[in-house]
Amino acid sequence: MNKGIQKDLIKEIFLIISSFLVGGIVMLALIQFTPLVNTILGSKNNLIVTKNETEVYEKSSLAASVKKIYDAVVVVQGYRNGSMENSGTGFIYKVDNKYGYLLTNEHVISDSDRISILLETEEEIDAELLGKDEYLDLAVLRIDKKKVTLVASIGSSEKMNLGDTVFTVGSPLGANYRGSVTSGVLSGKDRKVSINVSSTSNNDWIMRVLQIDASINPGNSGGPLLNVNGEVIGICSLKLVDDDIEGMGFAIPIEYAMNHVDSLENGKKIKWPVLGINMINASDTSGLIKHNIKISTKITEGVVVTEVKDGSSASNSSLKKGDIIIKIDDVKVKDIAYLRYELYQHQAGDQIEVTYIRNDKEKTTKITLKE
């Protein structure tokens, strides 16, 4: 081979090797001393990467969504006569020029004479109660805007599908476990669950709720239920507790809460329509005896009228003592809780049709509702 050609070939090989070496050194310097790529961990399908100071999480992680809500979630603590009686969770859903506004469950603060908020900074401050309602199981609180660092984004439960991923942020068992995150799926929509509103009655109200299998415990009440985008789609409210039951929690749909939030913010009492009757369940044998009312033993569901109050909504109808209400607007009424639920879908001034049984015959009457 010509010596000149051989020299040129050696030069080219040297230049190629030198280029690779220099390139490698430059790349190592970039990795070591610039924020281009700080960390790469995991396998092909589960990467945690920090690139230009923006975190990209593993494919199945909810971490980015949790960040969107985490600092908007607080611990709500209810005090009475100087002692803490109850604790739960709340979240900041809006701010104005002076205040931050929080939603929580009514049962968290129902008997409190002082309410405090434990912020994500561990600072404890007093909160002002603006409005509450036991049937909605909602309460609105407010704090100084200066204490707000993040406001939750409101989503839509109506757009959710069964099996969609959901998660919660709350304070199960109190402040020691504040900020706990649990996840699961949306197990059911439009569930109707019987609960006690009055301490002197049993299962006197029906709540229409979302069913979830994400773990919730005492202290999660009032906290947000969220979709994978970190948007609030519900408010955690209750769970079924039994040795044979696992993973059945329930949340108030966010749309239902937001429909009433303006009234609660302004301290307005929610005005529910009333029939103006005293009543007992058809299954209440002792109650029937007490009121000297006899009904067919074949009737096991429905609501029995024990009194029609003068001047009430029902006073202008054909209802009277001993009638058994079985439907409102063609919707079956199983007991007092179901009657109240269907009634509260209406407003004062609405006219409803009530179907009832008298002397084993089915009849109907129209009633215009009053507050």
Contact 263, 270 (CB under 8 A): yes
Enzyme catalytic residues: 107, 137, 221
Backbone angles phi, psi at 18, to 5 degrees: -60, -40
In the block, residue with structure tokens 């609180």: 141
Give the amino acid at 328: I
Q: What is the CA radius of gyration of the chain?
A: 30
Q: Residue 290: in which H helix or E strand, if any? A: helix 285-290
264, 268, 270, 273 alpha-carbon torsion, rounded to 10°: -160
Give the 3-state secondary structure of residue 247: coil
If DSSP codes are grouped into helix, strand and coil, which group holds residue 19?
helix
What Cα–Cα distance (Å) separates residue 242 from each residue in 239, 248, 320, 367? 10, 10, 40, 41
Rounded distance between C-alpha atoms, residue 250 and residue 129, angstroms: 24
Residue with tokens 């369940």: 281
Contacts of 37 (CB under 8 A, 6+ apart): 30, 31, 49, 50, 51
First to last CA, the chain: 109
Q: How far apart are CA 165 and CA 4, in angstroms?
A: 71
Provide CB contacts within 8 A for 356, sequence distance 6+: 305, 319, 323, 324, 325, 326, 362, 363, 364, 365
d(CA 114, CA 14): 80
Q: Are strands 153-154 and 231-239 parallel, antiparallel or unpaired?
A: parallel
Q: What are the tokens at 161?
A: 């599908």
